[in-house]
């Protein structure tokens, strides 16, 4: 509804029942008029649909007959009527046919007489049965570090995480950008005996080689210009816990050799000193790059690959588990909006139809966009980003994963997308289905810069 309850109440007070029926027939929410004794005077078609009962059966009944024994908010309704104040977003259950129950978000608007007093109260019902069911399923699935999904491949992934978690085996997480590789790494950590220790994350593509060495292993004072004091590295910070190395495919051969030595000897040397320091750390790494290509081109050493991949966990892209989209949407909306939100059938169809090159991260961004634009508590087609409603665009239409890495086609695709977005890197990264760090690295690799 676009009107707030008080304004809606003021409008209804001046209308007869025919006027009420004409307006309320166009509303998605159920609207029920109660008289001062809290008996049903009239209701619209949306209320009939939500309650699963015709108006003729309900008119004249007490309001509590809608809710059932123990669930009727009688005191709340009476207070709203007597004190002339609205109920705002009160969730409760209603009785449905065959003994089932539905969930509704209840609001009210007292209906004052023009000469004073009250003619009754309007109840506004939002059907949140499906959202409540999805939220409960989400809460059950969220026990694995925030992972959400009931697709068979996701359930197999959960099983592998629970199996490998208690061991100290190194794990390689593989999946496209935006699929939630860090969530999987955290789930492995939470399933391990190290869960009470630190979880330390490093994005290997965000740092140059010499800075990455200092970040991982630490340095001593005077190791290089600007090293004015000793510094702990991430290995030492993760002592007794888990170190997560994201974008491991971007690590240079020299750093790979040093990491291999750490995994074999369980010691590190800070930059600028030659004294080994013991570390007790479990390593989990991740990449979105094609592993066969990394090995074939020599960008990843075979001995290093097999050492970090004792167990490999594969995350399916979102387009291969579309059935999880409503579940993920409910989870993400509650997390960001903190309230129940419904989708029109057209909006949900657009979400299900999109290929999601940016996977769950792109879905999350699209939903945040929709929350900002949504005005009536629901999300319609007009609230979604244009790339979702108009079909795949930019990289989605060309397929950044379908062009060879480092090729002229990839460079042209990056240049076209950046020009189309006015060199807005955030929008370009979202269209390409990659994160801003990966985009920045690719721009540097190809030497792409905006024209003056």
Q: Where are the domains of the chain?
A: 5-127, 152-314, 321-446
**Average pLDDT value for the chain:** 82
pLDDT at 427: 74
pLDDT of residue 318 exceeding 90, the answer is yes
Mean pLDDT of 184-199: 94
Residue with the larger pLDDT of the pair 74 and 89:
74
Mean pLDDT of 246-273: 92
pLDDT of residue 15 exceeding 60, the answer is no
DSSP state of 62: B
What predicted TM-score, i.e. pTM, was given to this entire model? 0.59
CATH number of 321-446: 1.10.8.60
pLDDT of residue 391 exceeding 70, the answer is no
Mean pLDDT of 304-322: 94
pLDDT at 240: 95
Mean pLDDT of 358-379: 87
pLDDT at 351: 92
Mean pLDDT of 177-191: 94
Percent of the chain with pLDDT over 70: 83
Range of 100-104, 140-144, 293-297 with top mean pLDDT = 293-297
Residue with the larger pLDDT of the pair 243 and 123:
243
Residue with the larger pLDDT of the pair 206 and 248:
248
Question: What is the separation, in whole angstroms, between the first and last Cα of the chain?
Answer: 48
Q: What is the pLDDT of residues 288-303, one digit of tens each?
A: 998 888 999 999 999 9
| Third-level CATH fold of 152-314 | Rossmann fold (3.40.50)
| Third-level CATH fold of 5-127 | Beta-Lactamase (3.30.450)
Mean pLDDT of 156-165: 93
Structure tokens at 329: 């949407």
pLDDT of residue 141 exceeding 50, the answer is no
Mean pLDDT of 114-143: 65
Mean pLDDT of 40-68: 87
Percent of the chain with pLDDT over 90: 31
pLDDT at 210: 80
Residue with the larger pLDDT of the pair 338 and 179:
179
Contact indicator for 5, 109 with CB cutoff of 8 Å: yes
pLDDT of residue 227 exceeding 80, the answer is no
pLDDT at 162: 92
pLDDT at 142: 43
List the Cα angle 401/406/409 in 5-degree steps: 65
pLDDT of residue 83 exceeding 80, the answer is no
Mean pLDDT of 400-427: 78
pLDDT at 7: 39
Mean pLDDT of 440-444: 85
Residue with the larger pLDDT of the pair 106 and 25:
106
pLDDT of residue 258 exceeding 50, the answer is yes
pLDDT at 75: 77
Mean pLDDT of 106-133: 74
Q: Do 321-446 and 152-314 have the same topology in CATH?
A: no
pLDDT of residue 18 exceeding 90, the answer is no
pLDDT of residue 398 exceeding 60, the answer is no
């Amino acid at each position: 509804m676009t009107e707030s309850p008080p304004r809606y109440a003021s409008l209804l007070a001046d209308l007869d029942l025919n006027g009420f029926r004409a307006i309320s027939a166009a509303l998605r929410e159920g609207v029920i008029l109660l008289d001062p004794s809290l008996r049903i005077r009239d209701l619209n078609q949306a209320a009939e649909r939500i309650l699963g009962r015709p108006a003729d059966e309900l008119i004249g009944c007490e309001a509590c007959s809608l809710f059932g024994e123990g669930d009727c908010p009688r005191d709340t309704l009476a207070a709203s009527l007597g004190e002339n104040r609205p109920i705002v977003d009160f969730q409760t259950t209603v009785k449905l046919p065959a003994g089932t129950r539905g969930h509704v978000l209840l609001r009210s608007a007292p209906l004052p007489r023009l000469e004073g007093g009250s003619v009754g109260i309007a109840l506004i019902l939002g059907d949140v049965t499906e959202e409540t069911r999805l939220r409960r399923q989400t809460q059950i699935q969220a026990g694995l570090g925030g992972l959400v999904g009931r697709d068979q491949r996701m359930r197999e992934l959960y099983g592998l995480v629970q199996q490998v978690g208690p061991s100290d085996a190194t794990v390689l997480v593989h999946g496209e950008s935006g699929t939630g590789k860090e969530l999987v790494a955290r789930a492995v950590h939470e399933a391990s005996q190290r869960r009470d220790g630190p979880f330390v994350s490093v994005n290997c593509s965000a740092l140059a080689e010499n800075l990455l060495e200092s970040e991982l292993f630490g340095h001593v004072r005077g190791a290089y210009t600007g090293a004015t004091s000793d510094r702990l590295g991430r290995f030492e910070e993760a002592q007794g816990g888990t170190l997560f190395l994201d974008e491991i495919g971007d690590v240079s051969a020299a750093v790979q050799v040093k990491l291999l030595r750490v995994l074999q000897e369980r010691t590190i040397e800070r930059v600028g000193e030659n004294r080994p320091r013991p570390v007790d750390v479990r390593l989990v790494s991740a990449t979105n790059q094609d592993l066969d290509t990394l090995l074939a081109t020599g960008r990843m050493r075979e001995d290093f690959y097999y050492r970090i991949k004792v167990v490999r966990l594969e995350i399916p892209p979102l387009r291969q588990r579309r059935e999880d989209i409503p579940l993920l949407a409910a989870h993400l909306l509650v997390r960001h909006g903190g309230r129940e939100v419904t989708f029109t059938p057209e909006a949900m169809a657009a979400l299900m139809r999109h290929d999601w090159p940016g996977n769950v991260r792109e879905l999350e961004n699209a939903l945040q966009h929709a929350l900002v634009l949504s005005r009536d508590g629901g999300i319609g087609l007009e609230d979604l980003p244009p790339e979702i409603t108009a079909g795949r665009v930019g990289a989605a239409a060309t397929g950044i994963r379908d062009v060879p890495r480092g090729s002229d086609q990839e460079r042209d695709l990056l240049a076209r997308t950046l020009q189309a977005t006015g060199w807005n890197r955030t929008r370009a990264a979202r269209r390409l289905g990659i994160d801003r760090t990966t985009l920045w690295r690719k721009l540097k690799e190809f030497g792409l810069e905006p024209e003056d």
